[in-house]
Structure 1
Amino acid sequence: MATLVYTQFVFLLLFQSSVWGFPVRQTPQESPTCGYKSCHATKPGMLNVHLVPHTHDDVGWLKTVDQYFYGDRNDIQHAGVQYILDSVVDQLLKNPDRRFIYVETAFFYRWWKRQTDDMQNTVKQLVNEGRLEFVNGGWCMSDEATTHYSAVVDQMTMGLRFLNDTFGHCGRPRVAWHIDPFGHAREHASMFAQMGYDGFFFGRLDYQDRSRRMAAREQEMLWRASESLTPPMADLFTGILPNGYNPPEGFCWDQSCDDPPIRDDPDLEDYNVDDVVTRFLSIAHTQALVYKTNHIIMTMGSDFQYENANLWYKNLDKLIHYVNQQQSNGSKVNVLYSTPSCYLQELHRTNLTWPLKGDDFFPYADSAHDFWTGYFTSRPALKRYERISNSYLQTCNQLEVLGGPISRKGPFGAGDSETMKKAMAVAQHHDAVSGTEKQHVANDYARRLANGWAHCQVLVSNTLSSLSGSSAPRVYCEHLNISVCPLTETSKKFSVNVYNPLARPVSWPVRLPVNGTAYSISDANGKAVDSQVVPVSQATAAVRRGRGYAVNELLFQVQAPPLGYSTYSVSLLQNGAPSPQASPLPRAPKAVQNKFLRVTFDPETGLLSSLSNLETQQTVKLSQNFYWYNASDGKNSESIQMSGAYIFRPNTSTPFIISKTAKIETLQNSVVQEVRQWFSPWVSQVVRLYTDSRALELEWTVGPVPIGDDLGKEVISRLDSSINSSGVFYTDSNGREMLQRRKDYRPTWNLRQSEPIAGNYYPINSRAYIKDDKDQLTVVTDRSQGGGSIQDGSLEIMLHRRLLYDDVRGVGEPLNETSDIYPEGLVVRGRLLLSLSPPATAADTHRPLAQEVVLQPLITFTDGELHPNTRLEFSGLQAVLPPAVHLLTVSQWDQDSVLLRLEHQYQASESKEHSQPVSVNLQKLFSTLDVLGVSEMNLSANQWKDEMTRLDWKAESGEKPLPKREGDPSMWEVNLKPMEIRTFLLRVRQR
């Protein structure tokens, strides 16, 4: 045994240091001149002005990603990223003092692949000398309100891995840089800290917050981004840039700018050096008044600038020369080329203490009536497609690992996960899933995701074929939510394969479009499964518009093992008229209930009237209805601001009710009870309670939103309860920790509320709740949406937005979505899941529920009879993981290694049962893989955990950072504390 352990230890060292694609361990002999070692010297006793040349290159916005890279469609916006990189490299070579930072790896990767070996070597030299520095380094600069943390981690990992593989240690960014997102999430700061960043800079924050911080000189702070993780694990130094991300006024020298160049020939009449120096010194001194140290930063660049970098650098060279020349006349200002990391290093050297922040930066307003809270919901169909694509990508990644090489090249051809990874990474951009792009760009994001699905479908088919031993072609039905699936509509015998990407078993309701009236269903053990056939609702028949012709839906419940699949066989028993008991009754029931929940309805209105938890004997009054806010058209005495893709601005604080009553149909059987509600020709809902569910489902369908009255509408679903919430509600941060929100209140400044609705809206990524001492009502969403609690006991979720005016934030078109199928306006369908629990145990319900919605099972079909030797059930795990543990990532890293992330999914003190440390044995994890070696990495997998060192920062509270945690007693035994994510590279062998 001793020999075996020694062999594994030696192997681990080799595994960590020599395999391509992994971070290279630094040896004592190495002395790179990049990073902090490459910074220009500053001058003590002077005001040091750090000039940061940069470009902000949106990965899609007004133009598509491709159009931006190539410089196509300049009639929309003049921008060509390939020319920016060409020009910057050329100019950096002309003066070793010059610096440049680059951010978006999606663009740099594409440019890099087109360069000659000589050019690549030249760029590597610039990176090694710190003259070209990468900051942030993710595939894109992600949105912070509408992105789910798992997708953010993935896109950051992809970008940082490319930089690591290409440039090694010098390609690793040390600073996170989110200069353009429209508000900042605490979970993003937590992730950046765990990825090893030393600091974080951004450009946008609420105008009132900025004003207060400027007066108090608190524009730089220590952000404590988790209440569960032990400091300084989630502590991140955070700085607010002085001009958003633009240059100081009058100092923009790009070809897109109109500011005059520096004219330094004294014999010419228009010589302006003295004027330039005077203005610059005035700006520098003014800026220094609102920052804490004798170092200030200036961003010299903006959107898609530096296409002709010579213009910028020639003038910056002169600016530095002439301003510093004044030091001989007693000036105390020193100007230098710099980078965010060099600026950060100087702040660290001051050894000062910094104010501590514990909340987030939502919502963001740039003036009194301009709250950027509309994009929390903008383009709800794209938001749902992105969310379900993330679920599909995780399944694709897992099956690539479980299937081995045959997954990528098997009986159904060559499949890959890379196409989907890149599409999902691009979709995280702050003008992608945010919904703030032009329509043709939104279409392009969706097209990329669809292309990723196609590539993953081949991979999934190959793996399922290999694991099951069946070569039958797999069929994917992507429109089951509107009851469209050609195979199930026509086949008399087919199988349903349900793959579960979670590390625990799930029970999941399946609804399949069919034309028969009776079916037999058997599970993987041949046991009969209870099923029911119900008629397709009028709303579903209307929304699918000829894309399917099923008259019925087949309902049954499936069980799927952890990280595995189960197969169900379906056979048609009867065609013809459905049985009388399957037909809906045209009236509201007094109540629907199962063994967990009871829901009552008002017989006069057909609306919800109460919700009861039968296990805990809780009951709350609960009504639900649909409303819309009229969108401002700018014709208002207070402000001309209009609602648009970014801005939510209703023209009144009272929403308009769509209908006080609902037309009702009721269905009740052994699988499901549902109440179908029609509120208007464009709003309907199904209130649905499955037999074994602890959550009530509200399936809403909204659209086409009418605009015949020439007013845009912002449609909400509002829940009004008897819960005494006292102006407080809670939302998740990027799907992880919950944050308290209080009406008309901000934790860090005295708010002057000017928009009582929009100013109280927050991003809801996966769930929100209200509570009092006895009851907690939680709403789980199926996509990112905006919402608020405007009245006590109330929770409203914005579902759909259709607007007739642009909000003048750059996108240049109203958010008025149509399509070929819905030319008169987009129809959107989604789900809200409600649970009622005592506050002390609510997390035990809503966390796994939200997880199931984010990572839902993948359902595939095969036609005809199954082969007798088909393997009908499979689990990739040896055993179910503890309830607190989430398998966040299982992804192929290279031929023999797997990237694994294990997450403790509960906050500290959130659950008496589950908010405890928990352990997992890596050697006992997978059923098809032998784990031969393991090494821990940081969250973004671009540093070895034992080599990750970050700058320590002192908070004004006087507290000292706590010592780092000790390692696990065994390299195979992983201990997880609440909210902790641990990342490993596993050396594996297929069994």
Structure 2
Amino acid sequence: PPFCFSCHATKPNMLNVHLVPHTHDDVGWLKTVDQYYYGDRNDIQHAGVQYILDSVVDQLLKNPDRRFIYVETAFFYRWWKQQSSSMQQTVKQLVNEGRLEFVNGGWCMSDEATTHYSAVIDQMTMGLRFLNETFGPCGRPRVAWHIDPFGHAREHASMFAQMGYDGFFFGRLDYQDRARRMVKREQELLWRASNSLTPPMADLFTGILPNGYNPPEGFCWDQSCDDPPIRDDPDLEDYNVDDVVKRFLTIANSQAMVYKTNHIIMTMGSDFQYENANLWYKNLDKLIRYVNGQQANGSKVNVLYSTPSCYLQELHRANLTWALKTDDFFPYADDAHDFWTGYFTSRPALKRYERISNSNLQTCNQLEILGGPVSRKGPFGDGLTDSYLFMLSLSEKAMAVAQHHDAVSGTEKQHVANDYARRLANGWQHCQVLVSNSLTALSGSSAKRIYCDNLNISVCPLTESSKKFSVNVYNPLARPVAWPVRLPVNGTSYVVSDAEGKSVDCQVCVCVCVCVCVCLLFQVQAPPLGFTTYSVSLLQDGPPPASTQHRTPTAIQNKFIRVTFDPDTGLLSSLSNLETKQTIKLTQNFYWYNASDGNNKESNQPSGAYIFRPNSSTPFIISKTAKTESIQTPVVQEVRQWFAPWVSQVVRLYGDSRALELEWTVGPLPIDDDLGKEVITRLDTSIKTSEYFYTDSNGREMLQRKKDFRPTWNLSQSEPIAGNYYPINSRAFIKDDVDQLTVVTDRSQGGGSLQNGSLEIMLHRRLLYDDVRGVGEPLNESSGVFPEGLVVRGCLRLSLDRPPSAADAHRPLAQQVVLQPLLTFTDGDLHPNTQLEFSGLQAALPPAVHLLTLTQWDKDSVLLRLEHQFQSQESKVNSHPVTVNLIVFFAMAKISRFSWCCGIAITALKCIILKCLGFPLNTVYFIFKHTAHWQGEGFLNCTFCP
């Protein structure tokens, strides 16, 4: 709106230099979020965000020409709550006048390589909604601002375009790419960020900033800087105005040579700067005055306070044609041997915990709706008091902060990583109260619910001690799900019954986990957006009889999959899809790369939290053979493999599964040889890949990759391993014309295809040197449980299909891993009137449609997001438009009024708000009101496309 879009006049016949005062405030990195906000632990890093905002507002009020942009809503929200009403009014006036402008506007500046799109949308929604409700239209950011993430994902650009941003600015790209773009003057471009959406739906103007996000050399005037201030008293001996002006004009004219218009941008600020904003603004005022004063002497340079929005407006007015980009900006390297591809895997345990926490949060949000107002009673809260304050619960804020580019990325100090995990744990503890309340309301049972959060290490005190208990399985997906359940127990045999009282096949066997324990295994079937209940009763005490075989089986198979093993090595040898009659050769093993310590003739760059730099291009095999034992039952077949005391795996096939599980356990990584290690698993197949492979972008669209190749420039490859690694957020595959092998991961990991028919994925990293990118400590994780070094467990799921129909299997599987069922437990017998099964839907959604969001919007409204989850031409069956009739939603159907939007067509007032809250690839939004009965005249249909 014109009244809040205030830009200084530019001069068309001059070079206009847009000075953008800003601060980059990491939401955790070297210090925790709290320490950064309050200015605590300045012995680690001098930074106090609250003082930055105090100082900036004070200085903006002293000169109406000044401008400032702010990014991280997580910090601004804290500061805003502490201000008086008069100060809040003052800040609103600054925002309304365009003197304080919000850019990006999410809760944080998220990482782009290791985040899942659903969590990114949630954290953007939190920040943007707060700004919208606090400042109205003038608070809405117009520009996405990702100045610090270490590479840039196409899906992020697609989301930003669909959220309604006018442009996107970032600071980091590969050094070779930048050099080429400078020569061709292509540092500003049009990014076409989806091959499924009709242009310009996912088109986004993108600008690459000239100095990362720092000021030009010699022009930093923060208290943390050493550059001399402008000394403008001519009576003093150290008068330097002429020198400052000369140096600035040289820099400005040099920068203009590598950009396309007579407008250039300069970021005047950096990490946690402007704590004493007077230093910056006093010198910037002088710089503008003295440089512009040279215009009277014929200078053609005009300097002005500006913002990214004002700069973007001038580029738009230039009406030029811009270079087009359709791929992404991975991997990122800042020098020949410095590839930032290690963080794709760094802190694998935190990456997994973030993914589980996202699933738990979606379950919590859904059950709040399904259970009704009673869900919010008790310690969690007593009803809603404000439309956004309730939304900012501990769990949602913790998840939003975890998306930061120094959080889930794994590039923070250890004590900060611990703080992120603590926040996620605290948030889940609060959510558990809501989940219990909701399940009590829906089931009619007031029995105490138990949460077993350590099932990943086979620990659950209730199931290990109780002779009779029930398992409630909640499914957050809008389609039925079959899911294996594995519970630690202490009996020989059990009987398991489903919600209808029918006996379910189950098996008791010895599990090898952190310790050897007894596990009960059975398969559950959960309804869409609902729960089912299984009763478990002990039949016989005591340990189960030994059921393992110490020889390697020739094969394990069910009716869908057959896997063979080499009897001499104990390794996988082939994988078959029995439905399609496909068979490929498949060998899988574990290797490690020795991490560079920085002492070699090529470069002094070591591997670290950010950088992956192996000291050779050939990994070391951990063992050419595996010691094995196996179990084969009607419920599950397993081949357990031991490669070393610190590497083991279970090859697992459930009775009716279409995916093979490889459950790996790695750690503690040995460092007795004083070398850091980076452990991978490699799948070598007979598929003829021609050096191509495919990875997902933030869990959404798939991108083609090729070894030693970049689509937009001629790559000079200097690191043949690290330079061919890409982020794998949820899945990757290799294929030829006949076969496609897809690997679904349970967290974000790095990987590549370095040989034909091969796919390798990095699982764990333990490093002994800092990589000199600021974190200041090596990535050498340990814990109280594992003082000798971190042990990490994960699971890869493999499927073999024919392209392109493989997408029909791997996309739903990936969603199922991201949003997995939640198990809760009750001890003893349930009340006879307990409702054992419930679904919030009258019918499952079509396979192509994914329920992305179901959450409380305000006191009596709900936000529902649906999305088409298939790319264009990805599937013969599912890559087509789908019509959804809302009659399938909410069996209770207490809906009175819709505000809705489809795609990016804004058709209702509520959707004007939603446009700035983030929706991905042709997503449908609904906000509807709860009432006692249905008041509509029919049902809303919306057709949306892949």
> Aligning the two structures, in what range does the TM-score lie when normalised by the shorter sequence?
over 0.9
Aligned to 1:907: 871
Counterparts of residues 433-444 of structure 1 (less than 5 Å): 433-444=408-419
The verdict on how the C-alpha distance between 1:979 and 1:372 changes in structure 2, with shifts beyond 3 A counting, is: same
2:514 to 540, 559, 572: 540
The verdict on how the C-alpha distance between 1:414 and 1:514 changes in structure 2, with shifts beyond 3 A counting, is: farther
2:521 to 546, 550, 555: 555
State the alpha-carbon separation in 1 of the partners of residues 43 and 605 from structure 2.
Answer: 27
The one-letter code sitting in structure 2 at the alignment partner of 1:831 is: C
State the alpha-carbon separation in 2 of the partners of residues 411 and 203 from structure 1.
Answer: 44
The one-letter code sitting in structure 2 at the alignment partner of 1:78 is: H
Report the CA distance between 1:984 and its aligned residue. 2.4
Aligned Cα root-mean-square deviation (Å)? 1.7
Aligned to 1:505: 480
Report the CA distance between 1:878 and its aligned residue. 1.6
Report the CA distance between 1:197 and its aligned residue. 0.2
Report the CA distance between 1:939 and its aligned residue. 8.7
Q: Deviations over 1:204-237 (max 9, x none)?
A: 0000000000000000000000000111111000
State the alpha-carbon separation in 2 of the partners of residues 939 and 490 from structure 1.
Answer: 52
Aligned to 1:528: 503
The verdict on how the C-alpha distance between 1:776 and 1:818 changes in structure 2, with shifts beyond 3 A counting, is: same
Aligned to 1:614: 578
The one-letter code sitting in structure 2 at the alignment partner of 1:540 is: V
Q: Is the 8 A contact 1:905 1:978 kept in 2?
A: no
Report the CA distance between 1:837 and its aligned residue. 0.3
**Number of positions where the alignment pairs a residue of Structure 1 with one of Structure 2:** 923
Q: Secondary structure at the match of 2:3?
A: coil
User: Do residues 389 (structure 1) and 364 (structure 2) align?
Assistant: no
Aligned to 1:470: 445
Report the CA distance between 1:929 and its aligned residue. 3.8
Q: Secondary structure at the match of 1:444?
A: helix
Q: Is the 8 A contact 2:899 2:911 kept in 1?
A: no
Report the CA distance between 1:146 and its aligned residue. 0.1
The one-letter code sitting in structure 2 at the alignment partner of 1:585 is: Q
State the alpha-carbon separation in 2 of the partners of residues 939 and 448 from structure 1.
Answer: 35
Q: Is the 8 A contact 1:222 1:236 kept in 2?
A: yes
Aligned to 1:77: 45
Q: Which runs of 5+ in 1 are unaligned?
A: 1-30, 543-550, 952-976
Counterparts of residues 644-723 of structure 1 (less than 5 Å): 644-723=608-687
Report the CA distance between 1:540 and its aligned residue. 3.5
State the alpha-carbon separation in 2 of the partners of residues 761 and 805 from structure 1.
Answer: 21
Aligned to 1:566: 532
Q: Is the 8 A contact 2:496 2:537 kept in 1?
A: yes
Q: Is the 8 A contact 2:162 2:920 kept in 1?
A: no
State the alpha-carbon separation in 2 of the partners of residues 946 and 452 from structure 1.
Answer: 29
Report the CA distance between 1:872 and its aligned residue. 0.1
Q: Which runs of 5+ in 2 are unaligned?
A: 384-389, 934-946
% same residue:
81
User: Do residues 486 (structure 1) and 461 (structure 2) align?
Assistant: yes
Report the CA distance between 1:33 and its aligned residue. 2.1
Q: Is the 8 A contact 1:160 1:940 kept in 2?
A: no
State the alpha-carbon separation in 2 of the partners of residues 497 and 941 from structure 1.
Answer: 41
Aligned to 2:222: 254
Counterparts of residues 824-843 of structure 1 (less than 5 Å): 824-843=788-807
User: Do residues 270 (structure 1) and 241 (structure 2) align?
Assistant: no
2:114 to 122, 133, 146: 146
Aligned to 1:34: 4
Report the CA distance between 1:489 and its aligned residue. 0.2
Q: Deviations over 1:713-751 (max 9, x none)?
A: 000010000000010000000000000000000000000
State the alpha-carbon separation in 1 of the partners of residues 226 and 921 from structure 2.
Answer: 50
The one-letter code sitting in structure 1 at the alignment partner of 2:225 is: C
State the alpha-carbon separation in 1 of the partners of residues 375 and 561 from structure 2.
Answer: 43
Q: Is the 8 A contact 2:696 2:728 kept in 1?
A: yes
Aligned to 2:259: 291
Aligned to 1:986: 928
Q: Is the 8 A contact 1:928 1:990 kept in 2?
A: no
User: Do residues 632 (structure 1) and 606 (structure 2) align?
Assistant: no
Aligned to 1:11: none
User: Do residues 322 (structure 1) and 290 (structure 2) align?
Assistant: yes
The one-letter code sitting in structure 1 at the alignment partner of 2:736 is: D
Report the CA distance between 1:474 and its aligned residue. 0.4
User: Do residues 164 (structure 1) and 138 (structure 2) align?
Assistant: no
Report the CA distance between 1:306 and its aligned residue. 0.1
Q: Deviations over 1:913-942 (max 9, x none)?
A: 101100112244111342222223599999
State the alpha-carbon separation in 1 of the partners of residues 472 and 354 from structure 2.
Answer: 23
Counterparts of residues 157-196 of structure 1 (less than 5 Å): 157-196=125-164
Q: Secondary structure at the match of 2:815?
A: helix
Q: Is the 8 A contact 2:902 2:923 kept in 1?
A: no
Aligned to 1:125: 93
State the alpha-carbon separation in 1 of the partners of residues 901 and 396 from structure 2.
Answer: 20
2:423 to 448, 452, 455: 448
1:425 to 394, 397, 400: 400
User: Do residues 231 (structure 1) and 173 (structure 2) align?
Assistant: no
Aligned to 1:962: none
Q: Secondary structure at the match of 2:286?
A: helix
Q: Deviations over 1:518-537 (max 9, x none)?
A: 10111001111010000122
Report the CA distance between 1:983 and its aligned residue. 2.2
Aligned to 2:936: none
State the alpha-carbon separation in 1 of the partners of residues 587 and 12 from structure 2.
Answer: 65
Q: Is the 8 A contact 2:904 2:915 kept in 1?
A: no
Aligned to 1:954: none
Report the CA distance between 1:990 and its aligned residue. 6.0
> What's the TM-score once normalised by structure 2's chain length?
0.96
The verdict on how the C-alpha distance between 1:395 and 1:947 changes in structure 2, with shifts beyond 3 A counting, is: closer
Aligned to 1:403: 371
The verdict on how the C-alpha distance between 1:447 and 1:833 changes in structure 2, with shifts beyond 3 A counting, is: same
Aligned to 2:944: none
The one-letter code sitting in structure 2 at the alignment partner of 1:222 is: L
Report the CA distance between 1:879 and its aligned residue. 1.1
Q: Is the 8 A contact 1:161 1:941 kept in 2?
A: no
The one-letter code sitting in structure 1 at the alignment partner of 2:778 is: P
Report the CA distance between 1:316 and its aligned residue. 0.2
User: Do residues 854 (structure 1) and 818 (structure 2) align?
Assistant: yes
Counterparts of residues 728-807 of structure 1 (less than 5 Å): 728-807=692-771
Q: Deviations over 1:522-576 (max 9, x none)?
A: 1001111010000122x4317xxxxxxxx31000000000000000000000112
Aligned to 1:20: none
Report the CA distance between 1:404 and its aligned residue. 1.3
Q: Deviations over 1:49-88 (max 9, x none)?
A: 0000000000000000000000000000000000000000
State the alpha-carbon separation in 1 of the partners of residues 430 and 904 from structure 2.
Answer: 25
The verdict on how the C-alpha distance between 1:948 and 1:529 changes in structure 2, with shifts beyond 3 A counting, is: closer
Q: Is the 8 A contact 2:574 2:587 kept in 1?
A: yes
1:347 to 315, 320, 339: 315
